[in-house]
A and B are shown apart, each in its own frame.
Chain A
Amino acid sequence: MRKIILSVFVLSLAVLVSCGDKTKKDSTEAPKEEVVKEEVVEVDPMQNKGVGPITSVTLAAEVDQELAKKGAEVYKQMCSACHKAEKKFVGPAPKGILERRTPEWVMNMILNPEVMVKEDPIAKALLAEYLSPMSNQNLTEEQARAVLEYFRTL
């Protein structure tokens, strides 16, 4: 299984706080030592559910064709300006997405892109690669679920 490895810099807040608080403190107090720590975080994309409203999605064994059809319509109107089904475009291709990501992650990426590109390690790495942050198209959860079903048909 592929792992995404990324580095997170943790900066001691003490430094920042002491800067902002100068007027309220005695200047004789010695500044606290600056601590920079590097941490290695490993993320399993097939476990990572992302950040957002979706915590659990159950996929039936069979694709719900009716739902997928609705999802295709939503996808065409709201997503196709930047995503092509089988080809990298402004954003990545959704074909085979469920072999790479959890369904929860996919829906959170659709519903909560601003927070995802700031907090989710995979979304952050994707932004670094694609540069154009994903737009929030204000889909409802039902619409996002339908788009997910459509992705299963690709």
Chain B
Amino acid sequence: MKSILKIMTLLFSASVLLSSCGNNGKSSGNNSALNSSNAEKVYVAPGEYDEFYAFMSGGYSGNLTVYGLPSGRMFKEIPVFSQFPTTGYGYSEETKPMLNTSFGMVPWDDSHHPDISQTNGVLDGRWVFINGNNTPRIARISLKTFETEEIIEVPNSAGNHSSSFITENTEYVVAGTRFSVPVPQADLPINEYKGKFKGALSFISVDKETGRMGIKFQILMPGFNYDLSHPGRDKSHGWFFFTTYNTEEANSLLEVNASQNDKDFIAAINWKKIEEYVNNGGGTKMPTNYAHNVYDEHTHTATSTMVKEVLTVNPLDIPGAVYFLPTPKSPHGCDVTPSGEYIIGNGKLSADLTVHSFAKMLDAIENKKFDGDAYGIPILKYEDILAGVVKSGGLGPLHTEFDDKGNAYTTFFISSEVVKWKIGTWEVIDRKPTYYSVGHLMIPGGNSRKPFGKYVVAMNKITKDRYLPTGPELEHSAQLYDISGEKMELIYDFPTHGEPHYAAGIPADLIKGNSQKIYRLDENKHPYAITSPDQAKVTRNGKEVHISMAMIRSHFTPDNIEGVKVGDKVYFHITNHEQDFDVPHGFAMIGANNSELLIMPGQTKTLTWEPKQVGVWPFYCTDFCSALHQEMQGYVRVSPANSDIELSWSLDGE
């Protein structure tokens, strides 16, 4: 008894000591008991694993970051649409084709909405997809290698924003255009926008086994702005819903001119019907030009293919395939409840949320209760399809996600808050502030039939005073809320990289066991790979010099190379011969005008180098690989262009 008391006293004084130490910032220490219980909720002890992965889009970084929840620790930045000198992605000869487009190489993009593959409406953890908004592209990232495996360009699109959302068996990843454009592109006066521009909604099929993407069809819709989208699920599986704004079809000062109509539309697309139509030979093949880039895990090399044709569909040719659901105030987020019954329009200029009923929508269609049409597409009557309105009292609703207990969570940008409300009764249950100006929010699985409603992450646009100041530019803030109880609790706050527009979360158990540890050397099919050091060689083809090199702790084979001349283009093809987990080697060449390489065990990568000066130039390993890492280096002798020194190479004089 006495000893228990003693321990209690000690623990208490220790916690007082700890919280008083930690609280010398701006917040006061009067709620330390609450803080310490929140601290326990997000504390992942050294060596322990997080419960969830969170894949956060990088926004203007063009990439995808991997975080753990609840700790908020960042594990990796996966290069997707942007060159990444850290690993050589987009710089190495093997990965340059990944960034090829119909505009040539575009070494950057604005990545927005990751979505994880599903089977039967449940996360299956095979791939994560993400859209490039600027030069329209969709990428597929493997959740085995955590590398970008495929990028497909989307023609006839511009501002690829209502993307990349997937249907519940990953039949399609869907990409809609935010900016309508002439289709096909044409030299037109801009003020002839109205009626002449089109909005393309692209349905990109995904191969069940390989994940390989291909554009199945594009629906050419009226020239509105297609802002966000969501698949129907469960009962509404087979439909897809897109919010629109600028149904005014303004082409200038949209800030004012696209906000004139009291209601815009949610476009409801019966994609199963259109799929059937094109499978029966429907649609029009249109000449076009777009890049399809695929990375092969065995050759460690990407190839880019230009595709010259796309199948387009005029919605008027398929009666019953497309309807418009009037939705107030320029709706932004378009979200569907896990049951598939309710479609939520987050009218960003409104205080209220509009909830449409899928059952009522079908009923109105059945009974042909239309309220006119837009460019021939039937408009349903607002009152006929409305399930309810969430009177939140907040301002600027943007996005809604769901838990597994029948609740919805909506972000309000202008009033900086997350509002929890009840599906069906539409009553507000709770509201909590965010810091500040929240955009998207994410609940792991919140985009599927089966959400894991333990945490919600709010991704904010403005950081201001949340962290130590770092000059004018700040990383965006994210807040983590515990949503396991009736009321939400703000339990953690962490910075995120780039601008995460959206994120996709998944229980760690669904993917961590599949994560690849090495690439097998005996499966390496790279044309310049060498699988044993005695294959190391240097060959000349005119002014091109190809060096096939091996690396292992802690030397290069060969590490002395002579016979290279000024004006040559040198290709270092380097194979990492390690076969153990987490032993990458780096490669850096003095004066290289591109990047370094970071080469995983069993992998081959190629860096080019164009020596401009006579001399003996060193290269070295950049990744501290062993106690003898500092010794992992070599030299290339560069002779004058007219030199007759023959190529030679060696390691330790052999």
Q: Which chain A residues have a beta carbon within 8 Å of chain B's beta carbons?
A: 23-24, 76-78, 80-82, 89-90, 131-133, 135-138
CA distance A137 to B581 in the complex (A): 10
Q: Which chain B residues have a beta carbon within 8 Å of chain A's beta carbons?
A: 7, 10, 14, 518, 521-522, 531-534, 550, 552-555, 557, 577-580, 583, 626-628, 652
Q: Which residues of B contact A89 (CB under 8 A)?
A: 652
B553 and A132: CB pair below 8 A? yes
Q: Which residues of A contact B557 (CB under 8 A)?
A: 81
Q: Give the secondary structure class of B's interface.
A: loop
CA distance A78 to B518 in the complex (A): 14
B552 and A135: CB pair below 8 A? yes
Q: A76-B534, A80-B532, A132-B626 are in contact. List 10 more A-B contacts (CB 8 A).
A: A23-B14, A76-B532, A77-B521, A77-B532, A78-B521, A81-B533, A81-B555, A89-B652, A132-B627, A138-B579
Tell me which of A90, A136, A138 has the highest count of chain B C-beta atoms within 10 A of its own C-beta.
A138
Nearest neighbor of B517 in chain A, beta-carbon distance = A138
CA distance A90 to B553 in the complex (A): 9
Min CB distance A81 to B, Å, is: 4
A135 and B522 in contact (CB under 8 A), knowing A24-B10, A78-B579, A81-B577? no
Q: Which residues of A contact B553 (CB under 8 A)?
A: 132-133, 135
Min CB distance A89 to B, Å, is: 7
A138 and B628: CB pair below 8 A? no
CA distance A132 to B579 in the complex (A): 16
A131 and B578 in contact (CB under 8 A), knowing A24-B7, A80-B532? no
A138 and B7: CB pair below 8 A? no
CA distance A30 to B222 in the complex (A): 86
Nearest neighbor of B551 in chain A, beta-carbon distance = A81
* Cross-chain pairs A/B with CB under 8 angstroms, 12 sampled: A23-B10, A76-B534, A77-B532, A78-B521, A78-B579, A81-B533, A81-B557, A81-B577, A132-B626, A133-B553, A135-B579, A135-B580
CA distance A77 to B550 in the complex (A): 11
A138 and B580: CB pair below 8 A? yes
A136 and B579: CB pair below 8 A? yes
CA distance A131 to B533 in the complex (A): 21
Q: Which residues of B contact A80 (CB under 8 A)?
A: 532-534
A133 and B579: CB pair below 8 A? no
Q: Which residues of A contact B626 (CB under 8 A)?
A: 132-133
8 closest A-B pairs by CB: A81-B552, A137-B579, A138-B579, A136-B580, A76-B532, A81-B533, A77-B532, A132-B628
Nearest neighbor of A84 in chain B, beta-carbon distance = B654
